[in-house]
Structure 1
């Protein structure tokens, strides 16, 4: 019996694959390599190249492998770009999820852990986001993730699908030297690329009502995130009850200014970040409670900020 990890050749998915391996659980990876890397898939792990939109391919994958459940990480995740590409975003994240769920039902696979997002909350009006905080997504990406959660809920009612959705906040770091964040939109890669190119990293606004004037966000280590996916999968496999959604949040926050200081310390490249104007819609602080996930999914912050930065930097340099 194995778990299928869609998007398992991506930054987060590849860490989930390694977390399953660490528990001695077999995995199969399905990825279209649109943003993932074939080299992120460990040797010996069965790999199916293709899209979750390809129903025939999904049927073949379920028929060829003894799949007990799915961790669904595949999707188009660029919130800002989704505003310019709404139809593409909905096709990948909503239609793709529906096609996957249909293939699962046809194959008799009834357990799924879904990669959701903090983007479902939009700009919350609270200092500490909980699972009950009102959902008000502000991009097609955030909307598509919320619809994905609804699809799981409705399929649970209609067909007995056992499911849980994990809402991510800012995922950073690396748990393996051969897996790094290659996103052109995430903070850590942007800062590292600037330093490697001899440019000064930017901070968007330093006059927010926060201790150092820069935005405060919830940064979590990707390896910690991956562990909770495996715990969720094991509990679903055992028929144990889970909440329908969990926030994987720190309960605390780190400012962009603190991250810049940590990056300078870890890399040994001294710099004073360039202060750019605020970006429209950037709230001063978004931090989430992880209490429910700590109770049910062995969720905890196992890495300090320095360890997050060091692991990410080491992985990025190893890729050079």
Structure 2
């Protein structure tokens, strides 16, 4: 028998969508330290489609299609002998056909919440192994400036602050093989215009572990097989917990190619293979265009 979702559960399903990208996911090579004075301009084009929604491990009929673009600007500089890269991320996109058990959650289009932050490299050893050994700490602050309508169940913006503390570690293994490990802890402010527009959404911290086994064919070509685990994030609407939280696992494969020393194309395929709560991404394609100058 299929579970029938209440209006409150539908609202929580919408809240889960808005926080699905709770951490800033990484591409292989993101924590490779570049020389001070380097600039990067990037555009991410992300598409995903989900055909199931899960609540406490129980499958519901559901659908969600997202099409997002993110502009990211990074500048590498030296501060008191430490390499730092101030950056900003500006998302824009749409959510289409969102539904759970045949009940529509609507559509949304517009600007997402901008993110500002910087990576501080506490270990920067470019001569170690083929790609180097690096450890970076990246605080990221999400600002509630994106499009948000208190009367809509689905929004691109979240109407709340978020703070993501991300740690990255790149370790050479053997010749051109290396391991990348990343950990995120995300803390959430309150959305006081949630639910029916007059309710308060609170969320416990979420945690993410990302890892890549990476192989550099050359200085211009690399490939990585990755895994991500998301957990935590219990949500309360006006103090009521509806047994929904973040819990999923994801597989990834990525290929990068650098052209003429300045222009890089990255293609990443993703698939959610174990979801306890939220939408299950059957298909995901992330394309990144990067220009180095």
Q: TM-score, normalised by structure 2?
A: 0.29
The structure richer in helix per residue is 1
Q: TM-score, normalised by structure 1?
A: 0.27
The structure richer in strand per residue is 2
